[in-house]
């Protein structure tokens, strides 16, 4: 049974975990995040919530909330696109280039939306998102979100139906905050070891790549790690006082990880390198395990 279906969102659930997923029209005018499978909230055992927003000031952001995916724009295609012409954004559509400046995720471009079909079941939703041929670019994205017990499985398949290579990077913006608790000394994040390229703000990072904080976070923080050691899960975030945790498992080797946030949200972003030749496809999976002691 599908519960609480309205113009903004619908819900799927297992016996332990309920997901609220945005309908396409909820973010139809935003052009950064994929319009397929926008998870705005996850509730465990009818009481523990996981997701927060990118900003607590509505509209003062790029529309991020919960677990929302993004495919990065191919810089080569974008740079070749003339002003007034259209470039592809997988999961969204074709966007109109307005100036000879680098692509900005903070700007909502004019958009020719790609066709999306969805099938909703009790514990899963299936999407097919198709970008028709334009300037030799075309693709079809299959995405399925399934809830089993306390796990969220997100399966992807990207088909290249065009005439040129698809080069991108796919990642999930995970806006997390357990039960809306502020980011403070109770949060502990286990990250994969690697080369730390950027480290700003109040994050404390141990030699074992365990991140934490001295108290309530007052300013934004950012950590970027590349050349990652292979590990599973890709990260684990725990709230020690609440006894809650979220882990992400991947069937691919992450390209790099970005960890950033503010006092009300912490986001660990695991990047997957995408390269698909014409008439070929690429598949991958993300699995989140939400646990309570």
**Interval 75-108: pLDDT, tens:** 999 999 999 999 999 999 999 999 999 999 888 8
Going by pLDDT thresholds of 50, 70 and 90, the confidence category of residue 284 is very high
- Worst-scoring range by mean pLDDT, 12-26, 61-75, 199-213, 278-292? 61-75
Residue 67 has pLDDT above 90, yes or no: yes
Cis, peptide link before residue 166, omega less than 30° from 0: no
How large is the average pLDDT for residues 30-39?
A: 89
DSSP conformation letters of 33-72: S-SS-EEEEEEETTTEE-B-BS-SSTTSSSS-BSEEEEE-
State the CATH class of domain 9-292.
mainly beta
215/96 Cα distance (integer angstroms):
44
Tens digits of residue pLDDT in 100-131: 999 998 888 999 999 999 999 999 999 999 99
The pLDDT assigned to 79 comes to 96
Tens digits of residue pLDDT in 198-251: 999 999 999 999 999 999 998 899 999 999 999 999 999 999 999 999 999 999
154/288 Cα distance (integer angstroms):
9
Residue 4 has pLDDT above 70, yes or no: no
The pLDDT assigned to 5 comes to 53
Going by pLDDT thresholds of 50, 70 and 90, the confidence category of residue 30 is confident
Q: What is the mean pLDDT of the chain?
A: 93
How large is the average pLDDT for residues 47-61?
A: 78
Residue 58 has pLDDT above 90, yes or no: no
CA 268 remoteness from chain centre: 9
pTM: 0.94
| Residue 146 near residue 155 (C-beta atoms within 8 A) | yes
Element (H, E) at 248: strand 244-250
210/193 Cα distance (integer angstroms):
9
The secondary structure of the chain in percent helix, strand, coil, rounded to multiples of 5, reads 5, 50, 45
The pLDDT assigned to 57 comes to 61
């Amino acid at each position: 049974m599908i519960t609480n279906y309205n113009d903004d969102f619908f819900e799927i659930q297992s016996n332990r975990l309920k997901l609220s997923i945005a309908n396409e029209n909820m973010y139809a005018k935003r052009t950064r995040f994929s319009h397929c499978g926008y998870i705005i909230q996850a509730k465990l055992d009818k009481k523990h919530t996981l997701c927060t927003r990118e900003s607590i000031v509505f509209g003062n952001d790029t529309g991020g909330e919960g677990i929302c995916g993004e495919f990065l724009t191919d810089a080569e295609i974008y740079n070749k696109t003339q002003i007034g012409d259209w470039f592809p954004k997988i999961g969204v559509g074709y966007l109109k280039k307005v100036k000879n400046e680098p692509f900005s995720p903070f700007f909502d471009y004019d958009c020719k939306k790609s066709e999306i079909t969805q099938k909703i079941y009790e514990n899963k939703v299936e999407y097919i998102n198709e970008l028709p041929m334009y300037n030799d670019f075309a693709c079809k994205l299959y995405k399925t979100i399934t809830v089993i017990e306390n796990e969220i499985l997100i399966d992807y398949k990207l088909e290249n139906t065009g005439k040129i290579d698809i080069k991108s990077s796919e990642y999930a913006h995970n806006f997390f905050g357990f039960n809306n608790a502020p980011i403070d000394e109770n949060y502990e994040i286990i990250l994969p070891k690697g080369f730390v390229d950027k480290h700003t703000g109040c994050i404390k990072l141990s030699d074992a790549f365990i991140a934490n904080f001295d108290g309530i976070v007052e300013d934004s923080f950012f950590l970027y790690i590349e050349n990652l050691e292979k590990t599973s899960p890709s990260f684990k975030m725990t709230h020690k006082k609440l006894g809650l945790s979220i882990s992400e498992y991947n069937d691919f080797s992450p390209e790099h990880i970005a960890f950033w946030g503010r006092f009300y949200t912490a986001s660990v972003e695991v990047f997957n390198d995408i390269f698909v030749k014409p008439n070929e496809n690429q598949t991958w999976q993300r699995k989140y395990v939400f646990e309570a002691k």
